[in-house]
Each structure stands twice: as C-alpha cells, then as structure tokens.
Amino acid sequence: MKRKEEQYLNDWLKNSHRKPLIIRGARQTGKSTLVRLFARNTNLKLIELNFEENYQYKEIFSTNDVKKLIKSLEIHLNTRIDCNRSLLFLDEIQAHPKAIATLRYFYENIPELAVLAAGSLLEFALDEYSFSMPVGRIEYLFMGPMTFEEYLNANNGEQLAHYLNNYSLKEAIPESIHRKALEHLRTYFLIGGMPEVIGTYLESGSLLAADKIKYSILNTFRDDFNKYKGRLNLANLQEVFDRLGIIVGKKITYKSLLPDEKSYKVEKILKLFENARLLYRAYHSSANGLPLKAEINRKKAKGIFLDIGLYLSINGLSLASLNMDENLFFSNRGDLAEQFVGQHLLYSRPEYMIPEVYYWNREKSQSNAEIDYLLQLNNIILPIEVKSGKTGTLKSLHLFMEQKELEKAVRFSTNKPIVEMVSPSLSESNYSYKLITLPLYLVEQTERLLNLL
C-alpha cells in the first residue's frame, strides 16, 4: 500500500545535504513498512536493526566511532555495507537512546550513508535519559494513519483519487461520482486508516475481520502501558485510555476521565498519551491574529484520537449497528465527521512539521458558540465547520467571522461543493465573507482548492 510519505523520502534521499531522519508516529501506523518499501523501490540495500528485538545492537552502538561501528555491523550481520548504496534503518530507536546521539556522527563522518530511524515512544526516551541531542544534525518526519485518499488508492479507487486530486471548484461533481465517494467514505469511517486494518479488509472483504484487528491494535497499545507508566498508577492509565473516546470533539474535563483523582495526575496521563501519539489536543485560540499558537489557552482543549476506526472500537461501537442507510449513517454521526476531519487536518501540514490544529469557542450563559477547527493556512486564519449530514446552522460561524472580520471560511458536509458570499446579518454592517462548502471526502484537497480561488 503506497504512502504519501514515500515521496518525501525520495526527495530526502536526493538532497546532497540530507541528515539522518527520524520517522515519528504511533505504533502500528506503518513506519517500518514504509522504510522497507522505500528501500526496495530505490534499490538500496536495507540494513535493518531493531533495538527492541536484539540487545547486541545496543552494544555495537556504544561507540561514537561510526566507521568502527559499521565494521562491527558487517561482522555481526555477515554482510558488506556499501555506504553509497545502503540504507541503515534503526527501528524502535527509543529502546536505545544512545543511538539517537550517535546519529550526529553519521551525519558528520559518513554523510554518504542514508540513515533512517523510527520510534513510537521517542519522547519517553528523551525524558528518561540524559544525553546530548544532535541538534542541527537530524531531521524529523511525522507520520499518522493512512489517509482517505491513500485508502482509495489501495482499494481500487485510484481513478477516484486522481479525480479528487485534480478537481476544480469550477466543476460540478456528477451525482454518480459523489455517491461513489460517499460510499468509500462510509467504509473508511468504519475501518479507519491503520494499515493492518485496511490490509485485512482488502484481503478478506470482511468488516468483522477488520474489526478484530482494530481491537488487537488497541490491546497492543494497552500492553505498552508498562513501558511508560513511570510512577503513574497502571489502573488509572487503563481507565483514562478507555475513556479517551468521550473527549473527541468535546472540551476535555479532568473529572470526566478520572473523577476521583487530582487534576495534575490526569494531566500527566493525558501527556503520556499525547507523547505516544494516541491522543492530540486541539487547543482553544483567541484567533486575533497569527500565529494561532501565540494565543492558545492550555486549559481549554478538545480531543482528537489517533484514528477514526480505533475511535469506534474504543467506544465499543459495533459495526452492525453502524452499517445502516448511507444518509442516516452520516446524519447521525457528527462525532465521526469531526474526528475524520480533525485527524486529516493534523497531517495536512508538511511532513516535517509537528501535527497541530486549533479551535475557538465562547462560553456564555445561553449563548455558547464554537468553531470546530482553526487552521493557519497561507498566512490567513481559516475557520472550519464540520457537519455530518447535509444541514446545520452556521450561527457560531457567522458570529466568529463578523467578530474577526475574516474573508474565507470552510464548511465540510455531505453536500457537493459550493462557493457563496454570505452576510451574517448580525449587525447593520455590510460585512460578508466567502463560504466554501466542501464534501467531507475533499478534506485533503482543502489547501489546493482554496489557493485556486
């Protein structure tokens, strides 16, 4: 299954000033598979070392003399390593933090050798061990689950994906294509973007088989708790993990997660899950200007789970109860639509940037207002509203747009695209803004389509 990150790795490989690159992401998102496919497609000899599986690699990486290190690897693996035609892959590098520090010496002393590393719990290694980080000597690539368009390309939807990638807002989407895209979207909502889940579904054609893999992945995450619980109570970790689904699209309150524990303990647990990239927090931003991050309130955030398919499973939602009429499915599942858009917006940024997205809300008695997501796009603030079905009011969006005097906003729904000028009519001013309505399945094309307006 092809991943968009492969193109990033191709560009990295061709860069004459490349640095060792660490791929960061949650477990089971396909980091190791990506590297293997990349090595095969570029005809590089893959030298793969897994620090969790073989303790001897830790001994080999006890030195900063990387030329001697390569010689030791050749003897240990009984293979010749041509530094101009090989790819050294250090998997689960967080299991041996010393290897992270060693990356600088590959950059300085053997720059011709392509070096990739991957880690799913890297932040925990950085917290627990004291060593000098190779600042300015390494690069990062942030990787999430497979996107909707990657799923299309894997599931005989290449022509539809090509159509979406070349679609212009000046065109009318034919009803047959719209219906086909929504059909694929519903399946993606159910199975999500974890590569093993998608692979199982494509091989078996069974949603039930895919569902079993999702639960298996969740159990794998639970098995990891012992690796990073530190001084935290394991039962508390388990309890918060099982309740992560209730904060998707909703303001996070510590009491809803662990009613009987102090706030600081719950915060430490949430930070652990963030570091493991199982949870993302969209923080409230006042959005009075750029950057959005400069005006965030860390006491106000809502959750985005790693993956929409896993979100269904962690909430115990059965596929049987969700396998309903298409229109009814989308209109009844606003939480799924917000999770879907959120996880795609997180990774809409360049791969080298930390995944981030924000939101806005106003809490007043009988007058609450909220913008689902805020995106910093081409030096403008882009408000994004998510509607699961075809209808929904825009009162909050009108209020926000007039207050901030912005020019554009996006609404995702199951409707076909439309671009219109909207007047909020909340005051006597002549203010209006451009509202771009996009079907949910075009979320990955947001930036491109807005650039064409």
Q: What pLDDT digit, counting tens, does each position of 347-363 carry? A: 998 999 999 999 999 87
Q: Which two tokens stand for residue 67?
A: 């030329």
Q: Please check whether residue 335 is in contact with residue 247, taking contact to mean a CB–CB distance below 8 angstroms.
A: no
CA atoms within 13 A on the CB side of 24: 26
Extents of the domains making up the chain: 5-142, 148-451
End-to-end CA distance of the chain: 33
Please give the angle made by the CA atoms of 196, 197 and 198, to the nearest 5 degrees. 90
From the list 321, 388, 316, 37, the residue with the least C-alpha distance to 195 is: 37
Query: Do the bridges between strand 86-91 and strand 114-119 make them parallel or antiparallel, or are there none, so unpaired?
Result: parallel
Say if strands 45-50 and 86-91 run parallel, antiparallel, or are unpaired: parallel
Each residue of 268-312: pLDDT tens digit?
999 999 989 999 999 999 999 999 999 999 999 999 999 999 999
Query: Residue 429 is encoded by which pair of tokens?
Result: 């001013």
Residue 81 neighbours by CB distance under 10 Å: 15
Q: Which residue type occupies 396? A: S
Q: Pick from 190, 249, 167: which is nearest to 442 by CA? A: 167
SS3 122: helix
Q: Which pairs count as long-range contacts for 4-11, CB under 8 Å and 24+ apart, including other chains? A: 4/147, 4/150, 5/34, 5/141, 5/143, 5/351, 6/34, 6/37, 6/38, 6/41, 8/141, 8/351, 9/34, 9/35, 9/38, 9/116, 9/141, 10/38, 10/42
5-142 CATH choice from 3.40.190.10, 3.30.1330.10, 3.90.1150.10, 3.40.50.300: 3.40.50.300
Q: Please state, in angstroms and rounded to a whole number, the distance separating the CA atoms of residues 338 and 189.
A: 11
Give pLDDT tens digits along the chain (453 positions): 899 999 999 999 999 999 999 999 999 999 999 999 999 999 999 999 999 988 899 999 999 999 999 999 999 999 999 999 999 999 999 889 889 989 999 999 999 999 999 988 777 766 666 556 677 889 999 999 999 999 999 999 999 999 999 999 999 999 999 999 999 999 999 999 999 999 999 999 999 999 999 999 999 999 888 776 666 888 899 999 999 999 999 999 999 999 989 999 999 999 999 989 999 999 999 999 999 999 999 999 999 999 999 999 999 876 655 655 565 566 557 789 999 999 999 999 899 999 999 999 987 766 789 999 999 988 899 999 998 766 667 889 999 999 999 999 999 999 999 999 998 876 667 889 999 999 999 999 999 999 988
User: Order of strands, edge to edge, in the sheet holding 86-91?
Assistant: 45-50, 86-91, 114-119, 21-24, 139-142
Angle between helices 234-242 and 263-275 (to 10 degrees): 70
- pTM beyond 0.85: yes
Do 333 and 344 touch, CB atoms closer than 8 A? no
Scan for tokens 């007043």, then name that residue: 364
